[in-house]
Amino acid sequence: MTNRPLTNRQWLAKLVAAIVPGMMFSFGCMAVVGLLCHATGEARTVSSQFLMWLVVLVWLCVMGSCFLFRSGLCAWVVLGGAATVVWALFEILVKVTTA
Amino acid sequence: MKIRPDIVQVYREVHSWVGILCSLFLFVAFYAGSISMFEQSLQVWLTPASSLPKPVELSDTPQLLQKVFAQYPDARTHYTIIVNPDNARPARLMWAQNPTYRGSGPQNYVLGALSPDGELHTLVSGPSGIPFFIDQLHEQIGLPLPHVAARYTMGCVAVSYFLALVSGVIIFFPSLKKMLFALRLGTATRKVWLDMHNLVGFFSLPFHFIMAATAVVFAFHGPIFALQGKLFQHGQLAARGLIQQHGHEKSRSENNTTQIVGQEGLMPPQAVLAELHKQAPGFIADTLEYTTQSGGGKSRTTLRIAGHDERYPTLGASNGFAVVDPANGRVLSADYLPGHQSAGFAALTAFIALHFGSYGGLPVRWGYYCLGLGGAFLFYTGSRLWIIARQKREQHAGKSSKQRRTTWLLSCLTTGGFTGCITGIAILFICAPFLPLGGTYNQAFFLYYTVFLLCMGLSFILRESQREPFLFRVAGYANIAIAPVMLVAMLGGRAVLPSLGVGMVALVLGCFLLRSVRRFTCGPSAADVSPIFSQKITGETKMG
């Protein structure tokens, strides 16, 4: 790890990373948690409303912390990786539960 | 705890840019939002008394219904019974004039009443559109866009607002202990503004975090639910039978409602309310909304009773509701019935109620009104700070004679926008008593945006030194004028007594604005340290 001070030079890349893969990541969290607690996807149920709050809060946290990444590339790699991991987990869980 | 200086610097930049870009929208949202805390009361006060005969007694409602259905069979599909009629809803019974209405503004209703000799009188009417317009201004952060576009824009502004809050906390945190109560009033302008900004910001921080998060939820819940529907549909089919209790309750309740066929089997409203009172004492019903859907030769009537309970938060801005069996008054769904919700629904309702301030009654509403105005003040001080800092930097860079264009532009936009919003809303209240029916939505729209654009135009025309004193004076006088206008309207029988309260609050606000301006133009002495504007003029004259 280098000790260069943090700057805002790549703010746009970081922000877009928080918006695109960051949002995918929060939706992925919702998908996994929803699957684990047998959410029905019916908007009037408690579970789906809590999941909706979960998405918003996770995404807001990602948005708030995206400027802490060392560079835009770093942000894309971490958030993109996290999104891929949660969605892969979701796919596996779907296979397991339906099997 | 210490935060690394480079991180603080990064968030300082984020804070100032995000702040200046959304402060104007947030100002309008907070100013209009604090007024819409009293939307219902304003609707009652601003709507003139109707010409209909006195509402029938609740016990006589079945006769009224019979007469209405004989003459207007379409009303059967969807009608509402008002428990306590007032000026905004002056009849016992009302139904939508056009059930497929998709226009802007609230729709008109047909009101039904009986004259003493039992003859049916109807009137097509709606409450004053002004409170609804102010509420829309709040929801759409002052943008005259189509509703969906405005909602998504609002969502983006709310996310930026959240960013501004997080970054603001990070900047302020290292100096929290030293600076929290520091109000360096005798010093340079920038410091006074900064201390005010920090003080107000820190003490209303939880309020602001709640507003930001709930606003994001309001804007984006639709697409999130749509995605959930798509994601979990197949899971739902696979796991059928395992799903939580809630699903069972729902299907049971639906079985119950299908038993009711036709209007004849319905319980009279008064009996329904008595039955409901036994099951949910303390719940005060406001309206009974009957909806009949027919299909396959059968018709099914559902009844939704909206109301409130002072002891519990409600989901809506002022109401919760229960789904009740119209045949026997039994509660079918208590998901949103205050005080009878499951723990999950109660928690969800609490999140939403924290946005609306729909708990704790009038004191909480006034508290939210003050916090809302405090928020508006926060955004004003924030943008002043940005402008002063920019001017200072430009002065150091040798550009004192000619301000950079962006600083000038943002200075005009913020002053014009802030005063335009305050003046526009004041003009709405001034005109309300003299407009037929207390003003329609379209009239309110036209009036507000005319005034807003005028202020914006003036802000661009006036010189730097005149802009703020002049526009604040306009906003101040417009607010002060509300009180005498309301008094005159009341003497002429066009307004009711409580609307004087609006005048009183506006009077205080107007005096505050004028007082600020007076200090601004008198030229403050060094000993005169109290108001913020005096500090600003010394700062600006210093800057040349």
A55 contacts in B (CB within 8 Å)?
A: 224
Task: Indicate the angle between helix axes B129-139 and B5-36, nearest 10 degrees.
Answer: 170
The CA angle B66-B68-B71, to the nearest 5 degrees, is 110
Please give, rounded to a whole number of angstroms, the shortest distance from the CA of A56 to a CA of chain B: 7
pLDDT score, position B136: 93
Q: Is A8 on the interface with B (CB under 8 A)?
A: yes
For residue B109, the number of C-alpha atoms closer than 13 Å in the C-beta half-sphere is: 20
Residue B205, SS3? Answer: helix
Interface contact flag, B344 A42, Cβ < 8 Å: no
Q: Is A46 on the interface with B (CB under 8 A)?
A: yes
Residue B62 has pLDDT above 70, yes or no: yes
Name B260's Cβ contacts closer than 8 Å, sequence gap at least 6. B266, B300, B301, B325, B326, B327
pLDDT digit string (tens) for B110-154?
898 988 888 888 888 888 889 999 999 999 999 999 989 999 999
Q: Is B227 on the interface with A (CB under 8 A)?
A: yes
End-to-end CA distance of chain A: 44
Give the separation between CA B486 and CA B520, rounded to whole angstroms: 29
Give the separation between CA B222 and CA B286, rounded to whole angstroms: 28
List the single range of B33-37, B260-264, B310-314, B419-423 with lowest mean pLDDT: B260-264
Please give, rounded to a whole number of angstroms, the shortest distance from the CA of A13 to a CA of chain B: 14
pLDDT score, position B544: 28
Give the separation between CA A62 and CA A19, rounded to whole angstroms: 9
Residue B353 has pLDDT above 90, yes or no: yes
A52 contacts in B (CB within 8 Å)?
A: 217, 221, 224-225, 228
Q: Is B321 on the interface with A (CB under 8 A)?
A: no
pLDDT score, position A2: 56
pLDDT score, position B258: 39
Interface contact flag, B235 A38, Cβ < 8 Å: yes
List the single range of B172-181, B196-205, B475-484 with lowest mean pLDDT: B172-181
**Using a CB cutoff of 8 Å and minimum separation of 24, what contacts does B54-61 make?**
B54/B113, B55/B82, B55/B85, B55/B90, B55/B91, B55/B92, B55/B113, B56/B92, B56/B113, B56/B114, B58/B83, B58/B92, B58/B269, B58/B270, B58/B273, B59/B268, B59/B270, B60/B114, B61/B92, B61/B93, B61/B268, B61/B269, B61/B270
Please give, rounded to a whole number of angstroms, the shortest distance from the CA of A92 to a CA of chain B: 13
Residue B517 has pLDDT above 60, yes or no: yes
Find, in chain A, the residue whose alpha carbon is nearest to that of B250. A45
pLDDT score, position B103: 59
Residue B538 has pLDDT above 50, yes or no: no
Q: What confidence tier does B245 reach under pLDDT thresholds 50, 70, 90?
A: very low
pLDDT score, position B50: 83
Q: What confidence tier does A31 reach under pLDDT thresholds 50, 70, 90?
A: very high
Mean pLDDT, rounded, for B272-284: 90
Complex ipTM over 0.90: yes
pLDDT digit string (tens) for B371-427?
999 999 999 989 988 888 888 888 787 665 555 788 888 889 999 999 999 999 999
| DSSP per residue, B210-231 | HHHHHHHHHHHHHHHHHHHHHH
Closest CB to B6: pick one of A5, A30, A41: A5
pLDDT digit string (tens) for B359-376?
888 899 999 999 999 999
User: Mutation test of the interface with chain B: which of A23, A26, A35, A46, choosing the one with the most B Cβ atoms within 10 A?
Assistant: A46
Q: Does A63 or B244 have the greater pLDDT score?
A: A63
pLDDT digit string (tens) for A34-48?
999 888 878 888 899
Residue B248 has pLDDT above 60, yes or no: no
Residue B526 has pLDDT above 70, yes or no: no
Interface contact flag, A6 B224, Cβ < 8 Å: no
Residue B244 has pLDDT above 70, yes or no: no
Interface contact flag, B235 A7, Cβ < 8 Å: no
Window B:246-275, CB contacts with A under 8 Å = 246-247, 250
pLDDT score, position B400: 53
> What's the token pair of residue B389?
């800092």
Q: For all residues of chain A together, what is the average pLDDT?
A: 91
Q: Does B265 or B114 have the greater pLDDT score?
A: B114
Residue B34 has pLDDT above 90, yes or no: yes
Closest CB to B13: pick one of A8, A44, A47: A8
Residue B523, SS3? Answer: coil
Interface contact flag, B348 A39, Cβ < 8 Å: no
Mean pLDDT, rounded, for B194-217: 93
- Does the global pTM surpass 0.90? no
Residue B532 has pLDDT above 60, yes or no: no
Find, in chain B, the residue whose alpha carbon is nearest to that of A43. B225
Q: Is B240 on the interface with A (CB under 8 A)?
A: no
Give the separation between CA B64 and CA B524, rounded to whole angstroms: 68
Q: For all residues of chain B together, what is the average pLDDT?
A: 83
pLDDT score, position B519: 62
Residue A51 has pLDDT above 60, yes or no: yes
Q: Is A71 on the interface with B (CB under 8 A)?
A: no
Give the separation between CA B55 and CA B57, rounded to whole angstroms: 7
The DSSP letter of residue B59 is: G
Residues in chain B, how many? 544
- CB B107, CB B96: distance < 8 Å: yes
Please give, rounded to a whole number of angstroms, the shortest distance from the CA of A63 to a CA of chain B: 7
Find, in chain B, the residue whose alpha carbon is nearest to that of A6. B6
Q: Does B403 or B180 have the greater pLDDT score?
A: B180
Residue B179 has pLDDT above 80, yes or no: no
A26 contacts in B (CB within 8 Å)?
A: none
The CA angle B481-B485-B489, to the nearest 5 degrees, is 170
Give the separation between CA B12 and CA A91, rounded to whole angstroms: 41
The CA angle B318-B209-B200, to the nearest 5 degrees, is 100
User: Mutation test of the interface with chain B: which of A12, A51, A52, A95, choosing the one with the most B Cβ atoms within 10 A?
Assistant: A52
Residue B12 has pLDDT above 50, yes or no: yes
What percent of chain A is predicted at pLDDT more than 70?
Answer: 97
Q: Is A39 on the interface with B (CB under 8 A)?
A: yes
Q: Does B152 or B300 have the greater pLDDT score?
A: B152
Mean pLDDT, rounded, for B295-323: 86
